Chain A
Amino acid sequence: MSWDDAALLALRSLGRRCARSLLAGLGVALGTTLLVALLGIAATADSRIVSQLSHGGPAAAIHVRDAMPDPAGYDSDSLMSGPHRDLGDDAVAAIHRASHVTSVVPFLSSSALVVPCPGITPGSPDAPVPCRQPVQGYFGALVGTDLTRSRDLPITLLAGRLPAAGSMTEVAVTQSYVQRVHLDVTHRAAVLGSEIEFATPQLLPGGGTRFRGRWYRAEVVGVVAQTVDGGDFLVPIQQTQVARQWALGGADSRTLRRPTSPYTGLVVVADSLDNVHAVRQEIFAIGYANSAPEHLVASVQKYLHVVDIVLGGIGAVALAIAVIGVANTLLAAVRERWREIGVLKALGASDADVARWFLVEAGMLGVAGGLAGTAAGAGLAASVALAVNHYLVGQGLQGIDLGGPPVGLLVGAPAVAVLLAVIAAVVPALRAARLPVREALGG
């Protein structure tokens, strides 16, 4: 009897005892659901925690500053920088050539006088919502970067969109700006479409702090959880490069230095968390201060792995209990099919043929239960993630990655369910196979 013949026989046998088969399959499905849901939720929580530690960027991201390294910072997560050192394209290329580096994204920060809602009278009934209360102009920081590579940057979009690459008239703001214009963070989307006027400074000669501004307006197109470098405004790097050129045309002073460095810093992404330390050491060797929460992430990940193991263990126990149900169902089936086993053997079925019948039947229960359970578990994990995401975003916090359970889990869980079901069927299958044919026939 071939495997497909055994499959037909097994399918008919399952169909004959629909309710019992359904219950056994349901047990496997529930066990798999629990396993997938727990591990899926754990994976989401892990990524959320690691993401929080890396401020929404890649977990293996390293922040490089336009400064010499301080030897005390070589083994520290914190930034410890020495004297200023210009950071230009040569340095970017050198760091890019370092081993285990997957991407290098430069950013350039620039300070500016910020005037929210230019030309609008506060209190006017026609004023946009963010402009109804008076807001004083203030000095803020613009962070310019290549926004086409936002996936490699610690940026979390909370509302709207990121400014178009190269745009000189679009800006994304952080929540601190939202609060500054007297809006609640839960209504941050109201700020979209409003205008901000910026004046990037150029110091006038004479040794004082007098400066003239380069004025321009930008529309708020998005709200982000944080910028790359702690400023209030995220813009395409072309905006801050123009600001830098403008500043370079002016004088220099002790209080307002001319920005000589082409870039303020870099976000370097290593190919894995394990290689972050090695990449940091290479950047130190090239001569730049840098920081990454490598020790913090590593120690948190150890604890997260413990949690994963515990949750996985709970799911595995549930699955094991379900599989015991499969074994019990099949043992009952062996007793019930005593006579049929005898008939098959009388017709010439070998012990292996009979064992195959029961193993395939268990495999079918495992496949059906495993697939249904995996789908249900993934759905449950996604629902929990959605609910948590809704809550976090509602609270003005960074949301979570809704990528769903890891692919390995989605593939592995049904495979484990099938494997365990087949293992559970070994004893019933052997009992059926070894049944003396005369005894089975009732002689």
Chain B
Amino acid sequence: MVSVTGLNHRYGEGPTALTVLCGLEMEVERGGYAAVTGVSGAGKSTLLAILGGLEPVQQGRVLVAGMDVSLLSGCELARFRRERIGFVFQDFGLLTMLSARENVEVALALARVPRCDRRRQADSLLAEVGLADRAGHRPARLSGGELQRVAMARALANHPQVLLADEPTGNLDEGTAGRVMDLLERLREERGCTLVVITHNPELAARADHRLRLSRGRLVSL
């Protein structure tokens, strides 16, 4: 489901160029759960961005959800993200002017779900993450854990084959972080999607099937 071969990535040109990924190899099977750890600046977020089609592939081969990401154009990448990928961000990435339901509906709208079905699906997704009673609330009125659960509901709106989470518990306290990760894992199991999580938290990483540490641009299995 996720297959990375000989991935090189660097920022800048010439002598000041900074290599962040160097001949990186990675394999996660369908429905698998991989946790990537590493020090700050190790390239974890860059790796996740490349997997999600947010960053162009400079060198190497990246297969995600059956698509060779390195071969996709701008429009195709947008479609790839829209149809196959779900993102969960550390800072939730919710649109503050929209309610929880509307945030989910935006993802459904982008996924071309008919307007008449969106509300029902959004409510169903919010119920799935335990926020049925907070659907009409705007982000400013939700707690950190609730915000992340809304973000997770939104990420699942397009029935992604791969769920990419960039430090999803980074802004949450320990108890909430644990509950969010429980939910994320449950959703992965129920929906059978592949989960790749970037985290600094070794306890959360320990729960993954594949524990990978990014060091000097290469992944090391733990």
Which A residues lie at the B interface, using CB under 8 A?
1-2, 4-5, 8-9, 12-13, 15-16, 339-340, 342-351, 353, 437-438, 441, 443
**Interchain CA distance A9-B106 in the complex, whole Å:** 9
Contact A344 B106 (CB under 8 A): yes
**Interchain CA distance A336-B97 in the complex, whole Å:** 13
> Can you add 19 more A-B contacts, CB < 8 Å, to A2-B109, A12-B95, A346-B54?
A12-B97, A344-B95, A344-B110, A345-B54, A345-B81, A346-B81, A347-B87, A347-B107, A348-B83, A348-B111, A349-B78, A349-B110, A353-B110, A438-B49, A438-B54, A438-B55, A441-B89, A443-B54, A443-B55
Whether a CB of chain A sits under 8 angstroms from the CB of B96 is: yes
Which residues from B are CB-within-8-Å of A339?
A: 93
Contact A348 B78 (CB under 8 A): yes
Counting from the closest, the 10 A-B pairs by CB-CB distance are A348-B82, A343-B93, A12-B97, A16-B97, A348-B81, A5-B109, A350-B78, A348-B110, A346-B87, A437-B54
**Interchain CA distance A339-B96 in the complex, whole Å:** 11
Which residues from B are CB-within-8-Å of A346?
A: 52, 54, 81, 87, 89, 93
Which residues from B are CB-within-8-Å of A441?
A: 49, 54, 89, 93
Interface string of B36-49 (1 = CB under 8 A from A): 00000000011001
Task: State whether A350 and B75 are in contact (beta carbons under 8 Å apart), knowing that A16-B96, A339-B93, A340-B95 are contacts in the complex.
Answer: yes
Which residues from B are CB-within-8-Å of A345?
A: 54, 78, 81
Contact A347 B81 (CB under 8 A): yes
Which residues from A are CB-within-8-Å of B85?
A: 348
**Interchain CA distance A9-B95 in the complex, whole Å:** 10
Whether a CB of chain A sits under 8 angstroms from the CB of B61 is: no
Contact B74 A351 (CB under 8 A): yes
- Nearest to A5 among chain B residues (CB) is B109
- Nearest to A350 among chain B residues (CB) is B78
Whether a CB of chain A sits under 8 angstroms from the CB of B154 is: yes
Q: Within the complex, what minimum Cβ distance (angstroms) separates B52 from chain A?
A: 7
Whether a CB of chain A sits under 8 angstroms from the CB of B119 is: no
Which residues from A are CB-within-8-Å of B102?
A: 8, 12
Which residues from A are CB-within-8-Å of B161?
A: none
Which residues from A are CB-within-8-Å of B74?
A: 351
- Nearest to B110 among chain A residues (CB) is A348
**Interchain CA distance A353-B85 in the complex, whole Å:** 18
Interface string of B147-159 (1 = CB under 8 A from A): 0000000100010
Which residues from B are CB-within-8-Å of A15?
A: 97
- Nearest to A340 among chain B residues (CB) is B95
Which residues from B are CB-within-8-Å of A342?
A: 93
Interface string of B43-71 (1 = CB under 8 A from A): 00110010010110000000000000000
Contact B97 A347 (CB under 8 A): no
Contact A1 B97 (CB under 8 A): no
Which residues from B are CB-within-8-Å of A344?
A: 95, 106, 110
**Interchain CA distance A346-B89 in the complex, whole Å:** 10
- Nearest to A9 among chain B residues (CB) is B106
Partner of A443, one of B49, B96, B111: B49
25 A-B pairs within 8 Å (CB atoms) are namely: A1-B110, A9-B95, A9-B98, A9-B106, A12-B97, A12-B98, A12-B102, A15-B97, A343-B93, A344-B95, A344-B106, A345-B54, A347-B82, A347-B110, A348-B79, A348-B82, A348-B111, A349-B82, A350-B78, A350-B79, A353-B110, A437-B54, A438-B54, A441-B93, A443-B49
Which residues from B are CB-within-8-Å of A437?
A: 54
